[in-house]
């Protein structure tokens, strides 16, 4: 019986080893094996919680109500997550000089914790809190959440997680750097992203238009699969990336 995954893994590893500029683009699926559920789909967070808590207008009008859910999701549940094998492989690829950057839609900080250094966080980072008044940033681990909403120790202003709420714009630096990668990459590695969230979903499309080979890792086919993907590696991110790593670094 022909194992399509093994054939595609072999193809992908050969392309990766010859590449001069590899960029990884990650979504919620890469962190599922770390214990973080996806936002959409079966078992997703938005099947359990109302998305209004992350609407910026709702946050400012009802900060206590918004923070009660935000604390539960991002600072009681997500905080327990640790990098998995997929994160570790990307960190190794960067350390070896193969991977030039990670663009992530995730806000969980797991790429940094795994050891990646060049990470463009398209939607921000939950491990940092921003004062909405004086704009000072605080490490989330230093902020007490026993009384809500949390306040800035410098000015008493309302704190919000430093990630993008519905109704907010993408951070300019992350936006510019991410699209710049789409211009440079000859291989674009998509891991755990569905291609449903804009404008992030246009980045891999732009890379494809610029001639990049698109290698996709996902448990299911996505909006990208039939449109821009050259090689589809179906399976869990950690398992697939571990197998790919074995092939890439077989001689090391």
**Catalytic positions:** 123
Quick one: which of 70, 106, 84 has its CA closest to 35? 84
Quick one: which of 224, 233, 237 has its CA closest to 15? 233
**Can you tell me the distance from the alpha carbon of 147 to that of 61, in angstroms, rounded to the nearest whole number?**
18
CA 167 to chain centre: 19
Quick one: which of 220, 190, 151 has its CA closest to 24? 190
Ordered DSSP codes for 54-89:
GBHHHHHHSHHHHHHHHIIIIIIIGGG----HHHHH
Q: Environment class of residue 43 by beta-carbon count within 10 Å: exposed (0-12), middle (13-18) or buried (19+)? A: exposed
Show the tokens assigned to 1.
Answer: 């019986």
**At residue 146, what are phi and psi to the nearest 5 degrees?**
-75, -25
């Amino acid at each position: 019986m022909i194992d399509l995954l093994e054939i595609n893994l072999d193809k992908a590893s050969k392309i990766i080893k010859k590449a001069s500029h590899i960029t990884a683009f990650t979504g919620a699926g890469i962190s599922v094996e770390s214990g973080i559920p996806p936002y959409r789909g079966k078992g997703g967070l938005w099947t359990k919680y109302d998305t209004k808590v992350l609407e910026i207008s709702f946050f400012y009008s009802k900060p206590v109500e918004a923070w009660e859910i935000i604390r539960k999701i991002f600072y009681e549940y997500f905080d327990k997550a640790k990098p998995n094998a997929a994160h570790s492989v990307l960190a190794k690829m960067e350390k070896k000089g193969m991977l030039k950057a990670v663009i992530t839609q995730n806000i969980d900080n797991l790429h940094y914790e795994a050891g990646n250094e060049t990470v463009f966080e398209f939607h921000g980072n939950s491990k940092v809190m921003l004062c909405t008044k004086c704009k000072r940033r605080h490490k989330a681990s230093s902020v007490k959440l026993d009384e809500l909403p949390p306040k800035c120790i410098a000015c008493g202003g309302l704190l919000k997680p430093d990630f993008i709420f519905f109704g907010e714009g993408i951070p300019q630096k992350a936006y510019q750097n991410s699209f710049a990668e789409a211009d440079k990459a000859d291989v674009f590695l998509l891991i755990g992203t569905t291609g449903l969230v804009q404008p992030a979903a246009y980045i891999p499309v732009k890379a494809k238009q610029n001639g990049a080979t698109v290698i996709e890792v996902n448990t299911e086919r996505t909006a990208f699969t039939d449109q821009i993907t050259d090689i589809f590696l179906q399976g869990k991110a950690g398992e697939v990336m571990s197998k790919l790593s074995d092939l890439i670094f077989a001689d090391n």
